[in-house]
Amino acid sequence: MKISMLDVFNRYLQAQAALPEKNSAPRPLAITISRETGAGGTTVSELLARRLSEAEKTPGASPWAIFDAGLAKQVLEDHKLPGNLERFMAEDARLPVESIVEEILGLHPSAWTLVQHTTRTILRLAGLGHAILVGRGANVITARLPNVFNVRLVAPLPKRIQHAADYYQLTEAEAARFVRERDHARRRYLARYFNADINDPTLYDAMLNTTRFGFARTAEAIAHLALQHHHLYVERHRYKK
């Protein structure tokens, strides 16, 4: 039986809620993934979650959860907002006219308020650990958290268009338009709300070309680098004590 993403999220949050409070303990590993459209962000995230779960040696450890499309739902749940606001939470800074009109009329929170809510949720999930946070400026938001490893996935444009066409069942022309529009939207989102350039390599701990590596090897490389990163963080934490 296939497990829904909502079930995975619920299990993840229940497991984290059951953990004892240890303010002095190092935080568990969390990973953010920024991706060019068509570079395989979803596929790599799924492979990565599986690889990290297999590498986990602690008995009873909480499962790894991916917060991608479901992140908006989690934000609305965290802040007790109605589910119909999800359509106004696209990873873009260019809002539909209906959103602007309803915002002016006070029918729902402003775009800036929704981004602030998203930021708080991302910080909470990153602090809990065992989370793969995809997009929405998560790498910028968590930049000061030492338990977080930040990754950017890239690939040549023709390969990304081809992958998008195959993945979403689009024609080549449709896929090309889809890739360019999504890339522009994500660039606008980071620029407007975080004053950051999504292509700035200094925002990431690693940038990987998924065409050169392949999705499986990319996930393996991220897992290896992230676990090393977390090991060093834990060692530094112990040394400070």
In which order are the strands placed within the sheet that holds 30-35? Answer: 65-67, 131-134, 30-35, 148-154, 206-209
Mean pLDDT of the chain: 79
List pLDDT tens digits, range 15-57: 544 444 455 678 889 999 999 999 999 999 999 998 998 877 6
State the chain's maximal CA–CA distance in angstroms. Answer: 58
Q: Tell whether 48 is covered by a domain.
A: yes
CA gap 216, 214 in Å, rounded = 6
Q: Tell whether 204 is covered by a domain.
A: yes
Count CB-CB contacts under 10 A for residue 195.
8
3-state secondary structure at position 14: helix
List pLDDT tens digits, range 58-90: 655 677 888 887 666 666 666 565 555 555 556
Q: Tell whether 10 is covered by a domain.
A: no
Q: Tell whether 157 is covered by a domain.
A: yes
pLDDT score recorded for residue 48: 94
Q: Tell whether 8 is covered by a domain.
A: no
CATH number for the domain that contains residue 135: 3.40.50.300
CA angle 214, 215, 216 (to 5 degrees): 95
Q: Tell whether 16 is covered by a domain.
A: no
pLDDT score recorded for residue 17: 44
Query: Between 161 and 118, whose confidence is greater?
Result: 161
Which residues are paired to 32 by β-bridges?
A: 133, 150
Q: Tell whether 154 is covered by a domain.
A: yes
pTM equals 0.78
DSSP assignment of 155-215 equals --HHHHHHHHHHHHT--HHHHHHHHHHHHHHHHHHHHHHH---TT-GGG-SEEEEHHHH-H
* Domain, as residue range, for 97: 27-230
Query: Between 134 and 12, whose confidence is greater?
Result: 134
Q: Which tokens sit at 108?
A: 């729902």
pLDDT score recorded for residue 113: 73
List pLDDT tens digits, range 190-241: 888 888 999 999 999 999 999 999 999 999 999 999 999 888 888 887 766 5
Indicate the residue type of 141.
I
Q: Tell whether 20 is covered by a domain.
A: no
Quote the number of domains for the chain.
1
